Structure 1
Amino acid sequence: MATIEDVAKLAGLSRTTVSRVINDQPYVTEEKKQRILQAMDELGYVPNSSARRLRSQRTDTIAVLLPRITNPFFANLIESMEKKASQWGYQVIVCQTHDSEKKELDYLQLLKTKQVDGVVMTSLCNDWEVIEPYLESGPIVLCNEYMEEMAVPMVHMDHRKAAYESTIHLIDQGCKNISYVSGGSDTYLAEERKTGFLKALEERALPFLEAASVDWAIHVEDGRKVFNHIKDHHPIIDGVFTGSDEVAAGVVYEAVQAGWNVPDDLAVVGFDNQMLSLLMFPSVTTIDQPVAKMADRTIEVLVRQLMNPRANKARRYIYSHKLLVRNSTLKKQLVTNL
């Protein structure tokens, strides 16, 4: 957290001069005043007196930070959170970070300047040591995303176990060369999924085909590119684990258009049980997350912290998932042999 000394140093002026500006006292030139105000803005500095005054205010508003609202998983999560928050007398504002570290911090400033009472973070862009100081301004709860060292409530599913079970399912369907497809590799959640995937391969003595795996796939169009990458460079791939139903749908669509049989030539697993996964032909095997339950618990935990700041701030709430097996992985030969 920035201090008055930090402001003075950045502005190149004395602590006394900074104090005069903060307390609206005379004998400070306009030029110096602007330098100090600019330094305060750059550092995100809130004077103690202002902070005390702001902390006494209530906005009855909760900010929910998410990567993008166009992802159906986050859209459903927000809808459930808004309903639950309304029951507690709170309104929700949606803050799209687009995976930007700067945007994430800009939105956390809403908490620091008391424009919101609390924050829900469904993804993480910055390291914990960057986020932690904002807890001085109000409660933060993580939903979906999680990080071991964060001393805040975390509501999530066991993503390592879900990825492990999905991969074991692909292997049980006869897949021996499986591509791992994710939207990134720099978050704890992403690491957990990959750990589960690799554990399944290791248990079944299968290799990790790193060259056939990608960490940039997010949208349907990315899924189409993933399939063409496999077709052109790694045709031995017979199974694909994806971290998104959107990506899985793109893989399935492009594979079918290319004349591949899904799942006999290529089995595909998605994630999140979006409606898209059920409407695809063939329908997509996926992981179902208890979105409504996680959303309800997240809002409840946050509101109870607002009511009682001494409430347990580091408890984890881990929910169970379901592997929904559909036609994108049920190979005809194996079904016939059942």
Structure 2
Amino acid sequence: MNIYDVSEKAGVSIATVSRVINGNPNVSEKTKQKVLDVMEEIGYTPNVFARGLGLNTMKTIGIMCSDSSDPFLANAVYYIERELRKNGYDSFLCCTGYELKNKQNYLNLLLSKRVDAVILVGSSFLEFNKKDNGYIINAAKEVPVMMINGYLNNPGIYCTLCDDYQSTYDAAVHFISQDKKDILYLYTSKSYSGIQKMNGYKAAVSEHLGKVNEDLIQICPGNMTASKELLLLLSKGGLKFSAVIAAEDILGVGAIKYAKEAKLTIPDELSIIGYNNSLLATCCDPELTSIDNHVETLSISTVSNLMRVLNGENVPNKITISNDLIIRNTTDFTI
């Protein structure tokens, strides 16, 4: 039995049940008693949602990320933990890797620790096979699940996303406006976020240039040496490109290294846009133009929404944050 069963049997919203459990005064005594009676009748003992009543709450949030060495994920975890501490919460961090079984096991581990909620950082937790996302949907029946840069439309799941589609669409359009028609797109994975980025690139190219050249879409391991070597190989193979949009800054830095080895001037002969506006974007020469996906804002918004959920407030299932293009020396346009 869970909070959804209580809601259905009592004939009230989930938010009302949560308010009763939290001891929120904005619930009539009649409604409160009806909810408490149903909880007793069906044998539901609130745990992670029980806050104001002091029933088993651990004041602890579970955080899952696939790879803590990834700059975006590492920054997100830092900001999330900072905001949780401000709100009086501790956290458990699990670095799961990318295997589905490991993700499932770690989520079950966090639930066994009776955490108050779970935050999934990054879109790699969403699987192509929708049935494989059942472990997240089932967890959300027990605790609130917050997703950063992933989207599932199910009760108890709350998603905060940056607009990856629009960002790469706009980046490609900027290059096209400079008459760059051979824009190479580099990516590392087909995660939810990765697909949104790629679709934005494809939409811009198809709308403004016609058919998408699939040879200009290349997957690459997420390191700068691999991207440099890939671009050298593609160039030697006869592929022409005057601009690069990289789905990660680290791939963009690899493109800079390629240009230097190939003796191409930046941005005149090769223009480059990275993604994430990470520290890497300012640690290279020339500094990398990059799309800022506002990891701090995403993290703060996620924790803020979580606090509202735990307080029994209504929170939208999906919140989207716009990105910004931070212009540096690998492009020559102004916005």
Shorter-chain TM-score range: 0.7 to 0.9
Match of 2:77 in 1: 78
| Separation in structure 2 between the aligned mates of residue 53 and residue 320 of structure 1, nearest angstrom | 37
1: CA distance, partners of 2:219 / 2:89: 37
Alignment match, 1:88? 87
Which position in structure 2 is the counterpart of 1:106? 105
Query: Which letter does structure 2 place at the counterpart of 1:90?
Result: Y
Within 5 Å, give how 1:40-59 maps onto structure 2: 52=45, 56-59=55-58
Cα RMSD (Å): 2.6
Look up the match of 2:179: 174
CA distance in 2, matches of 1:237, 1:140: 42
Contact 2:182/2:216 (<8 A) preserved = no
Residue 129 (structure 1) aligned with residue 134 (structure 2): yes
8 Å Cα contact 1:84/1:296 also seen in 2? yes
Structure 1 CA distance for aligned equivalents of residues 60 and 232 of structure 2? 45
* In 1, Cα distance between equivalents of 2:210 and 2:331: 18
* 1:234–1:179 CA distance, 2 compared to 1 (3 A): farther
Distance in 2 between residues matched to 1:275 and 1:114, nearest whole Å: 35
Give the greater-gyration-radius structure (CA). Answer: 1
Partner of 2:329: 327
1:267 aligns with 2:271: yes
Look up the SS of the partner of 1:138 in the other structure. Answer: coil
Matched, 1:253 2:275: no
1:13-53 deviations in Å (ceiling 9; x for gaps) = xxxxxxxxxxxxxxxxxxxxxxxxxxxxxxxxxxxx99948
Indicate the residue corresponding to 2:164 in structure 1: 159
Unmatched segments (≥5 aa) in structure 1: 2-48
- CA offset at residue 219 of structure 1? 2.2
Q: Say if 1:306 and 1:255 are closer, same or farther in 2 by CA, change over 3 A.
A: same
Distance 2:239 2:272 in 1: 15
> Given residue 89 of structure 1, which amino acid in structure 2 is its aligned partner?
G
| Residues 60 and 92, structure 2, Cα contact 8 Å, conserved in 1 | yes
Q: Contact between 1:99 and 1:125, CA under 8 Å: does it hold in 2? A: no
How far is 1:277 from its partner?
Answer: 0.8
Once the two structures are superposed, what CA deviation does each residue of 1:80-99 show, in whole Å capped at 9, x if it has no partner? 11111001111233222222
Q: Is the 8 A contact 2:293 2:323 kept in 1?
A: yes
Partner of 2:204: 200
Residue 273 of structure 1: CA displacement?
0.4
The Cα shift of 1:192 comes to 1.6
Percentage of identical aligned residues: 23
2:148 to 143, 152, 173: 143
Q: 276-285 vs 91-100, which deviates more?
A: 91-100
Question: 1:156-214 CA deviation, whole Å, 9 max, x = no partner?
Answer: 111110010111122223321112211112x3322221221111112212442212322
Q: 2:237 is matched with which residue: 229, 233, 240? A: 233
Give the direction of change, closer, same or farther, for the CA distance of 1:133–1:173 in structure 2 (3 Å limit).
Answer: same
Q: What pairs up with 1:282-301 in 2 under 5 angstroms? A: 282-301=286-305
Report the counterpart of residue 212 of structure 1 in structure 2.
Answer: 216
Q: Kindly provide the amino acid, as one letter, of the partner of residue 306 in structure 2.
A: L
1:303 to 297, 303, 307: 307
3-state DSSP class of the match of 1:304?
Answer: helix
Change (3 A) 1:312 1:200: same
Q: 1:54 to 1:234 in 2, by over 3 A?
A: farther
Separation in structure 1 between the aligned mates of residue 319 and residue 235 of structure 2, nearest angstrom: 41
Structure 2: gaps spanning 5 or more residues? 2-41, 49-54
Contact 1:175 1:267 in 2 (8 A): no
Q: Which moved more, 1:266-275 or 1:88-97?
A: 88-97
The residue number in structure 1 matching 2:319 is 317
